[in-house]
Amino acid sequence: MRAFILETIYEWSKIPYQKWFKKNTPWDISLKTLLQYPKESLGFHLGCFLLKHDFSPQPKLENHDVFHVLTDIGISVPEEVAMQYYLLGNGKRSLYLLSVIFLGTLLYPDKLKLFRKAYRTGKAAYTFHQLDYQKLLHKDIQILQTTFLISPLWK
């Protein structure tokens, strides 16, 4: 039930968030194009992530999927909340992020250990949340992760 609550709020808020709060330009990139990048690149890994989960690029929300790819955090509701904690630790601040953290913490108090770990892991990384990932799609994903000390939660 708690996952349903957060998923419903997300679905209701996604379009207004994209339209009125996200100021970045949509990437206008297809899954097919992403999968044509070199196999070690961020672009290829992003394409594989989207394909694996049967997703398509969401205009103005592309960075969100990049964060999943770079941090290796899954897509379950508690993992989505954990990723927001990771990004909070990394210095990202937005009303949306804080709202997800507030609601996620209320609904998933049993996941506080995971959330704390995500926050600490994000804090230990160099600031990466603000990068222009569209310009980095051709870069080797391991080099990006190593350069910014982006560690997966599960190691």
pLDDT tens-digit readout, 10-33? 666 666 665 655 567 888 899 999
Phi, psi (rounded to 5 degrees) for 41:
-85, 160
Take residue 98 and report the two structure tokens written for it. Answer: 């804080």
Dihedral of CA atoms 103, 109, 114, 117 in degrees, nearest 10, equals: 80
Q: Say what the pLDDT of residue 61 is.
A: 82
Residue whose pair of structure tokens reads 């969401």 in the numeric block: 58
Q: Say what the pLDDT of residue 34 is.
A: 97
Whether residue 68 has pLDDT greater than 80: yes
Of 154 and 12, the structure prediction assigns the larger pLDDT to 154
Q: Say what the pLDDT of residue 2 is.
A: 75
Of 4 and 55, the structure prediction assigns the larger pLDDT to 55
Q: Say what the pLDDT of residue 15 is.
A: 61
Separation in Å, CA 130 to CA 17, 63, 125: 18, 9, 13
User: pLDDT by residue (tens digit) across 70-126?
Assistant: 999 999 999 999 999 999 999 999 888 999 999 999 999 999 999 999 999 999 999
Q: Say what the pLDDT of residue 155 is.
A: 61
Q: Say what the pLDDT of residue 142 is.
A: 97
CA distance 8 to 56: 19
Q: Say what the pLDDT of residue 58 is.
A: 84
Q: Say what the pLDDT of residue 109 is.
A: 97
Q: Provide the residue ranges of all domains of the chain, joining segments of one domain with +.
A: 2-8+30-147
